[in-house]
Structure formats: structure tokens, C-alpha cells
Amino acid sequence: MPSQAESDFNSSVADIFIPEYERETGIATRLIACDREFPDLVLEQVSDGECLEVELVEVTFSFINQEQGELRRYEERMTEMAPRIRPSFKDKMIRLQMSEPAWAGLRPHAFPKVTSKEGAAIIAELEMLLKHCGEEILANWGGRLRDLIQRCGIPDLPMLTKHFDAMLINSIPEAYPGRLHPDDPVFELRNVTMYNGAEIAKAVQRAINAKQRKGPSYSADLLVLHTIKADHKPYVPGTGMHAEIIVGVGQILAPSLRRQFREVWFLNAYYSEGDGKRLYRLA
């Protein structure tokens, strides 16, 4: 049996899916079960009482968790460095954005171990940047690192700019968690997720393969790919994926699932700006 958290999440997905499914198909349904091992949901058609079994599968970036373990260790080391830049960035969150070569290349990106020589250089170069360009950074709420380096007239910072290319500054309340001292900033490296379109195609392929590998006996009426965030799981960003790419790839790959699922859909975490939809038929 799924955990209570899993059942609650599946129920929350049903709350989103049911009205969108009616809008797209004209078929009204209601939830009658979401606590079984398989499928994830059982819906009942209001018109005739026929049951629809619905299986869910999340579309996620698998590389995120692999990268974020090392990034978390960088945040910790930056927090240890923070006393040396007090109080310039008090009540500020400092975010670093991955460089284009890092996010456009093979993922997960190979960040150096924070305990390595290169890792130590990244911390030292960030400290130099914050000390020498603090006024410029705060005045512009961040900026591209190479632009900041040039305007402040400091030497190039090769290790830092190899892995990061921009800084974002946000104000935070005095009671914001994560500081060892009230005059310290908070460092955040895991909030801004950069990726290329090919990663979305891989994510869709992984989601579909996960169901194909279980064979034709593993079947339900509907399979719903989705990018809804589950609070009880580590957050693997999916909400920012462009729906049109998922739909395009899904429509190519999803027909291979027709032996197992009568219909295949994609449920987006938010309404697409382009067409105002959240639910898309893939097969």
C-alpha cells in the first residue's frame, strides 16, 4: 500500500486532473480511490458509473539531485566564509547561476569537490568578488560576473566563472533561516535550475521507459505524465519545463504505450502562457 503522503499527493493530482479532463473531453468523473498500489487513481464516470484506472508518472530532471549534493556543500562552505564579508550583505540572499557551458553540457555537471584545490579557489574568488565589488553588486542587485569583474577592475576569477556566470541578490527578512550570525547573508545555489531543451526530451523518455519496462500486463485506462510538485519528496524541479517541448516529445513517444494504456496525457504544473492549458493529449 502507498504511504499516506503518497495517497494525499495522488488525491491532489486528481483534484487538478479531473476538471481539466472534463474540459478537454467533456467527460465528468469523480475520484473513488487513490490508496491502491496500482493504479494510482480510480475515477468513476458520472454519466454511467464506468471506472477509469489512472496511472501517474512524474517527468523530472534526474541530474538535479546528483548536482545538488555538492552545491549544498558549497553553500555550507560559503556560509563559513560569510564572517569575512560582514556586514555588507546583511539581510541579503546571494544566488549564483550556473554558467552556460555548465548547464548546456552533459548533466550532471561535474562541480569540483568543495574540499579540492579548485573548490577552495571558487570560495576564495567569490570572497574577493564580494569584498571588492560589494557596492556595485548591491546597487544593481547582482549582475553577470564577468561584467562585475571588469567594472571593478579586479583580476579575472577563472575558477568561479568556469562554473557560474551571474549573481542574483534578494532582500530577506531578519529572521530568515540559514544564517550563523545576523550580519551574514544566505547563499543559495540550488534555487535557479538551468537546463537545455534536450534534457526535457530525456526526461520524457525516462518517464515513458519507466512504464514500458513493466510490460503489457502493467496497464490502465489512462497514463498521466505530470510535473506536479510532491511535498513529501525531494524537490526535483519540473514546473519550469516548457510544456510545448514535453508535448512534442510525448506525442512522438507516447504511442508506443498504447498496448498498456488506452489514453496518454500530460498534466502541467501550471497553465501554459501560450494556450492557457494544463492538460494535453499525447496518445
178 and 72 within one domain: yes
42 and 70 within one domain: no
131 and 92 within one domain: yes
68 and 116 within one domain: yes
Q: Check: CB of residue 164 under 8 Å from CB of residue 192.
A: no
Is the pTM above the cut of 0.75? Answer: no
Sheet holding 220-226, edge to edge: 29-33, 41-45, 51-58, 220-226, 261-267, 279-281
176 and 74 within one domain: yes
- Res 105 pLDDT > 90: no
User: How many distinct structural domains can be found in the chain?
Assistant: 2
> Domain boundary residue among 188, 219, 237?
188
Query: What mean pLDDT comes out for the span 33-62?
Result: 89
Host domain of residue 96? 64-188
Going by DSSP bridges, is the β-strand pair 41-45/51-58 parallel, antiparallel, or unpaired? antiparallel
> Domain boundary residue among 188, 223, 254?
188
**For residue 245, how many other CB atoms are within 10 A of its CB?**
16
- Res 234 pLDDT > 60: no
- Res 282 pLDDT > 90: yes
- Res 261 pLDDT > 60: yes
DSSP string covering the chain: ---HHHHHHHHHHHHHHHHHHHHHHS--EEEEE--SSSSSEEEEETTT--EEEEEEEE---THHHHHHHHHHHHHHHHHHHGGGGTTTTTTEEEEEEE-HHHHHSSSS--PPPTTSHHHHHHHHHHHHHHHHSHHHHHHTTEEEHHHHHHHHTPPP-HHHHHHEEEEEEEE--TT-SS-SSTT--EEESSSS----HHHHHHHHHHHHHHHHTT-TTS-EEEEEEE-PPPTTS-----TTS-HHHHHHHHHHHGGGGTTTEEEEEEE-SS--TTTS-SEEE--
- Output the average pLDDT for the chain: 89
Q: What does the pLDDT read at residue 9?
A: 86
Query: What mean pLDDT comes out for the span 197-217?
Result: 86
184 and 201 within one domain: no
212 and 121 within one domain: no
- Res 262 pLDDT > 90: yes
Query: What mean pLDDT comes out for the span 125-132?
Result: 97
**pLDDT band for position 231 (cuts 50, 70, 90):** low
254 and 207 within one domain: yes
**pLDDT band for position 72 (cuts 50, 70, 90):** very high
- Res 252 pLDDT > 70: yes
> Domain boundary residue among 131, 165, 188?
188
Q: What does the pLDDT read at residue 235?
A: 47
132 and 45 within one domain: no
30 and 92 within one domain: no
101 and 30 within one domain: no
96 and 73 within one domain: yes
